[in-house]
Structure 1
Amino acid sequence: MFAADIRRQRVSRMKGFQQWRWHLDEVFVNINGERHYMWHAVDHEGEVLESYVTKKRDRSAALAFLKKALKRHGGAETIVTDGLKSYPAAMRELGNL
Structure 2
Amino acid sequence: MNGKRPYLWRAVNDEGGILEILVQSHRNKRAALKLLRKLLKKHGSVPDTVVTDKLPSYGAAVRELNLSNFHGLGGKKNNRAGADR
Asked whether the two chains share a fold, i.e. TM above 0.5, the reply is yes
Matched, 1:89 2:63: no
- Normalized against structure 1, the TM-score is what? 0.64
- Normalized against structure 2, the TM-score is what? 0.72
Gap regions ≥5 residues in structure 2: 69-85
From 10, 16, 25, the equivalent of 1:55 is: 25
Gap regions ≥5 residues in structure 1: 1-30
Matches of residues 1-97 of structure 1 in structure 2 within 5 Å? 31-73=1-43, 74-97=45-68
Instruction: After TM superposition, give the deviation of residue 75 of structure 1 in Å.
Output: 2.0
Q: Distance in 1 between matches of 2:57 and 2:63?
A: 10
Q: Distance in 1 between matches of 2:10 and 2:65?
A: 18
Q: Which has the larger radius of gyration?
A: 1
Matched residues, number: 67
Deviates more, 1:42-51 or 1:66-75: 66-75
Identity %, equivalent residues? 49
Q: Which runs of 4+ in 1 moved over 4 A?
A: none
Instruction: After TM superposition, give the deviation of residue 34 of structure 1 in Å.
Output: 2.4
Q: Which is richer in strand?
A: 1
Q: Which is richer in helix?
A: 1
**SS in structure 2 at match of 1:34:** coil
Q: Distance in 2 between matches of 1:81 and 1:95?
A: 15
Instruction: After TM superposition, give the deviation of residue 80 of structure 1 in Å.
Output: 1.1
